[in-house]
Every structure is written in structure tokens, then in C-alpha cells.
Structure 1
Amino acid sequence: MGIRDLRILTLIVAAMVALEALSTPIILLAAALFPEGYMENVVPIASQVDFAVSVFTLLTYAVFGRWIYVAGRNLVEAGYQDLEFTPGSRIWWFAVPIANFVKPYQGMRELWNASHGESDYTIGNGLVGAWWALWLGHGFLATILRIAAGPDAGTGPLWFQSAADIAVAVVAIIMLCSIAEAQRKLGTGQLAEVFA
């Protein structure tokens, strides 16, 4: 099958991650800057907007998972046979309770190290570590804010969560772009198209 060029898929994932992270701040800004228009046009369809944002978030996770799979498959196609994680396991570890606090990080660390030519796949990388810490912190923060913020909490908790969303998105995009660029050097032959 050959090593696939991740540039187009990386661009798509980066755009989706950025849009997903910016959705709440955009809604909050619209409410603050245009309160009358917001009340007339957005509030009546708030549940539909929330549903659309949730669907887009799930779609973003699916496309991000596709990116992880293709990047992992590229390592296999490049001849890496000593990997601990298969392309698929890098994704499904996100869904395994308790292990999902550690295994996805280890899978992405291995993906990063192998893509960048490191012979020891267990060496920590600051960017991957920052992404994982932000991802976990983002999830814990969302849970805490959902529990602690009552109906009278205002928009403060949403702004706080938005800052965490943006931070994890920026680091994730930088990480994906760096891995994609490193993988361009994996194969000496022609790279296959991502969706081929």
C-alpha cells in the first residue's frame, strides 16, 4: 500500500480541531457583542446548536482517530516491526477505562519517536507530554465545571473551559504537524494519497 502522505489529512484534522475549540468562544462572543440578536436568533435554537456542536466534536474525534491510524500504518509500511502499539490499538486505548489515562499517551509517544527516527520509543517528548497533560486536564476541568457550575454560574466557567480547549487544540495541531512532517521522510518512494 505504501506510506501515505499525511499533509491533507493533517490540514483537515487541524481545521476541525481548531473549529471545535473555537465553537464555544464564538458563541460566547456573539452573545456578548450582539445580545439582542443572540437572544432572538440563537437562544430559540440553542438545543439544536448544542447538538450540532456535539456531532461536530464526535466527527472531529473520528477524523483525528483516522489520522492516528494512518500515521501508525505508515510506520508499519516503513518497516517498523518492533512497535508495541498497532495502528488500531493507538485508537482503542482511548476507550479502555483506567488504561486510557496512560496508554494513549504511550501510543502517541511511540508514534512521535518512531516518526522522528528515535530508536528508543519510550523516550519522553515535551510536546507529546504537554498534549497529554492538557488533554487530561481539559477532560477533568470539563467534568468539574459541569458538576460545580450551577444554572446561575454565568459564562465564567464556559470561558475557562474555552481557554483549556484552545490550549489543547494548539498543542495537538503542532504535534500532528510535526509528526506528519517527520513521516514525509520515512519513505524514499512516492507517497500515496491519504484517502487512496
Structure 2
Amino acid sequence: MTFSKMKFTQHFVSFSLLCTLLATAYLAYMAYGTNIILAKISSGHKLPAEELHILIQSLASIESFGGIILILTSISMLSFLIWLYKSYKNLLVLNKVPAKFSPGWAVGWFFVPILNLYKPYQVITELWNESFKNSSKQGFAVKQGPTIIKIWWLTNVASQITSLLTNGAASQVKNIQTLPFAEIASHYLALLELITISSILSVFVVAGFIFVVFNINEIQRSSHQGSLNSGGA
């Protein structure tokens, strides 16, 4: 089995994750700005026609942007899982012994309902620990990496729960068109508050993915180069 340097894979994963992060951050910004206008309406304030027009445009933009983020997230996760599979295969080359999780199950646990709330955390933790096992580096990433991964994964679970609540609130909003305008605004306000929270959590989650990919790729590449140098010596 040969070692995979994954330069293209790392760059593609990092780029797609970065695009997702920026798009999600912008969605949070749009949702927060729209919240301010909706809060005025739900409290009984009458808005000028110009502001109402801006509000309608903002709601439409948020809905469209949500679709773009969904596509970016799908691309990011697919590329991340490809990277994860290859990184787990590299462990066998570096450590000469099989890891607890096979490359196939390292990816597969992300698709098992309920278990995907904690099994992928175990997968990433093992990948991190096994990749850094023979490293002499003592930087911030090495010392704080496991703690950062734990906080990151808890944030990811919170983000998934918030996304489910957001989807539920979005379904309810579709059935309130006959209510008074102030009440409709109140329902939309609750929805956009959830979108804002969900987007902020997602930003931290995506940043965590970037942290994991970058550091594991660097240490695996460094360890492989070290083994080649020592072998050549």
C-alpha cells in the first residue's frame, strides 16, 4: 500500500470548506439584519413601503442563499469523506498496524442514524491520535487538538439539532399566510433567529473541519517524509 500525499484533495477540501464558511457567515449576517426589521413589525411598528420592499427582497435572498449553501455543504462533505478515507489508509502505511476503524467504516459511520452523532467523533479522534502518535512536535495543535476536536464535535451536534428546529419552523411559516401581518412577522422572526444561530454554529463547525484537515494532512506528510529520510539513511 502506498502513501497518498493528497495535495489536490487537501486543496479541494479546504477550498470547498472555505467557500461554505464564507457563504454561511454571509447568511448569518443577512438573517440578523432581516431580524431587526421583523422585530419592528412584530412589535407593532408600521414600516414605510421602501423598507417593506427591502424586507421582501431579503427574505427571498435568504431562501435562495440557503439553497446555495446546501449545494456547497454537499460538495464539502463529499470531498471531506474522500479525504477521510485516504487519510485512514495512510495510517496503515505510517503505523504499520491497522487502526480500530477501517477506512470504509470511518466514512460509513457518518451515514448511520443516531450513531452518527458520536461515532464520527471517535473516528476523527482516532485519526488525530494515530497521526500524531509518533510525532515529536509540541505545538498548540498537538497539545490542544483533542480538546478542540471535542468542542468542535459538540458544536456540530448542536448545529444539527438547531438545523432540525429551523426546518420545523420553516414548515410552519408556509402555513400562516392567513394570519395578521404582525403575527406573520413574529413567526418569521422566530425562524430567522434560528437561521442566525444555526449559521453561526455552522461557521464554527466548518472552521473545525478545516482545522482537522490541515493539521492531519501536515503531520501525515511530515511523518511520511521523516520515515523516508530515516529509511534512506
Structure 2 CA distance for aligned equivalents of residues 40 and 136 of structure 1: 32
Structure 2 CA distance for aligned equivalents of residues 4 and 66 of structure 1: 12
SS of residue matched to 1:22:
helix
The reply on whether 1:167 has 2:204 as its aligned counterpart is: yes
- Equivalent position of 2:152 in the other structure: 131
The residue identity in structure 2 corresponding to 1:140 is I
Structure 2 residue runs without a partner (length 5+): 35-50, 136-144, 174-186
Greater share of residues in helix: 2
Which residue, out of 145, 163, 173, partners 1:142? 163
The reply on whether 1:102 has 2:118 as its aligned counterpart is: yes
SS of residue matched to 1:84:
coil
TM-score by length of 1: 0.77
C-alpha change, 1:163 and 1:40, in structure 2 (3 Å) is closer
- Equivalent position of 1:193 in the other structure: none
**Which deviates more, 110-119 or 20-29?**
20-29
- Equivalent position of 2:11 in the other structure: 11
- Equivalent position of 1:111 in the other structure: 127
- Equivalent position of 2:228 in the other structure: 189
Task: Name the larger-Rg structure.
Answer: 2
Residues 32-71 of structure 1: pairs in structure 2 closer than 5 A: 32=33, 43=60, 50-71=66-87
Cα RMSD after superposing both structures: 3.2
Structure 2 CA distance for aligned equivalents of residues 61 and 146 of structure 1: 20
Question: How far does residue 42 in structure 1 lie from its aligned partner after superposition?
Answer: 9.2
Deviations 1:39-69 (A, max 9, x none): 669938955x544432222111110101101
Q: How many pairs are equivalent? A: 184
Structure 1 CA distance for aligned equivalents of residues 129 and 61 of structure 2: 49
Question: How far does residue 20 in structure 1 lie from its aligned partner after superposition?
Answer: 1.6
